[in-house]
Structure 1
């Protein structure tokens, strides 16, 4: 089974670090023709790429033909295999984005591209049939917990959930080591969320099973950062941009927001990024992260003025205040005036600025978060962002469990008919793929 042409073309553009316009010019076709080849197969305007174009793209991008196993062609010559990057102390574990090189990020995105037909409910795969995931969430979660569970099920596995300390034996005094070792006898992989930074690493040390950090207090959230960067790349492809040289504005609670900690470190793998860090004084980005990304030669600006910081940004990444992380600290400086709303976006943002948020957002009137009056603005990508969590987390599971090379050959057509658009407001984004 050959790789989908959309995944083949996206990989070629990533390898050559080109926008759609530059890539179309390089292969001698119109932008319109390239766009039709990148549309989902179910689109009425989708067209098949001519074989002669495929051969030429393979030649100039330095990659195999589409009928060669796609995931086996990952180039990690200087960094080792993708599986080795997704390991700690020789064990298949994803605990931090620090495990990734840029090549490894691109390789994982390549696997995620293969997962797209499954994530879009067009294909099914059973490569994880019989495997059981343990979802251990000792902190509230909706998106991450359900997204990981859905990703595992869409590859044929099943899921066992534990939510909160109250329903765990840890409420009886059981140690992290004992909990992890006991669960290892029941399941084949673990996703762990814990309110204490470093606690997930303790779970990982107590088992040889694949362990994924689903968020450890104010520490990291690696899978969220990966789906965020994947979203930026896909949206930039449509907008004629590349990640290198982008202006990224990170807004809100940068002190406790683990999503921005992980995303910032991933973005630092690219070249010439301008980071604008916008927060109240009490919630600034931790100094060690600022120091880490500054070593790579990026431009870093810190400001407490929201409107000034957003001006000229290619991406606005908003976060909510992490009230659950506060102890005696005040909320001074974080007022409703810090809200990103339609009026502000119209006054200071560009027409092609990408607006993102890891969710949940506080949608109550007057909240200091991303306003709901942006819901119909095409720049808002939060729901496309959450949708991308499925192929990314499927890719993570496939690599950690060693089945990434089996997926494309295991696919078959789905027997049910999914809706054309998942949400009532999704139609304007048809073809944004």
Structure 2
């Protein structure tokens, strides 16, 4: 109640796995304590940005960000997080209510690995300062005892106790989570299983809303030869119908995606059940999706930036050949600066140093100011210094200037003299870069 009666904006983060009761817990709290407050529930990052730009979040408003990872990992997610950072500095009372999975929280708040681009700086800065309310995975102690007492008079609760996958994991069972997993693992329809597996693999790459075209294009690669040969003419519809089958009267493996405004569903767009996204995806860890999947991903990406983003995730998952292919497609589409750097990195790792250097320079030319410096970090001295000198001679002095400044700052005089010798041998254009830096120091 101190939040309700206060003058601040509070951001509450409920962290817990799929089907653990995060949303229900938040719903009960809001209806009990804030029955007269306004509720804003944006379903996409773009909708959230639009609401904030329109100043729709006023005093006495609950801004509900359910499964927030689906917002912050969209293309406009960082823009939304930046706008929220500005919002939480304003006077209230306003509550920003966030529910999120532990794995997604870690992805969004962990600092980037060395030399890797920082994809979520605003999301990290938004989420990390606030206290976390952890929703437990299982009932324990008094809460479990209370569940047993109520189950004596409630057949649904009693059935959940009888079929629970793990002691105390009752909310997941009530939400038919384990049954959804079985629906996929032991599918009676091979085409349905192929479509669901494609959707699960898509979720691993951050594609949480695959289209019908994507699923049906990717599916053949998950089928055996005889299953493809014997496929009925309506195999695609059968596959989707299998994904939409209602399990235990409460859950589906695939779900319709509501329109961002108004009534109805987005045509030809599907959402994988949260439980499968969290629990089925780890079972696919290390397994490389088939070629049909990557062909479908290229079509689904739509833009060079989309291709690069999928390439980034593919690289993080260890699918390096596929990541390199996606980077190549992004470069072909628009000369994407970060994709050029991605290709440079792979060429350097493959030992093709000359091509790596060319691509790093192309990356800088396309607008990435760190292409050469990143490549320098992959090389040892003196190769790194020689690269900086060549880049300077080619018209990109930033890396050489930075290197000379760093050497001076740490009093690495021997290395600085060695760099100066390289510059002198390269000619006056490169020499000017170090001389100016020397004067500034």
- Asked whether the two chains share a fold, i.e. TM above 0.5, the reply is no
Normalising by structure 1, we get a TM-score of: 0.24
More helix by share: 2
Question: What is the TM-score with the length of structure 2 in the denominator?
Answer: 0.23
> Structure with the greater relative contact order (CA < 8 A, sep ≥ 6): 1 or 2?
1
Higher alpha-carbon Rg: 2
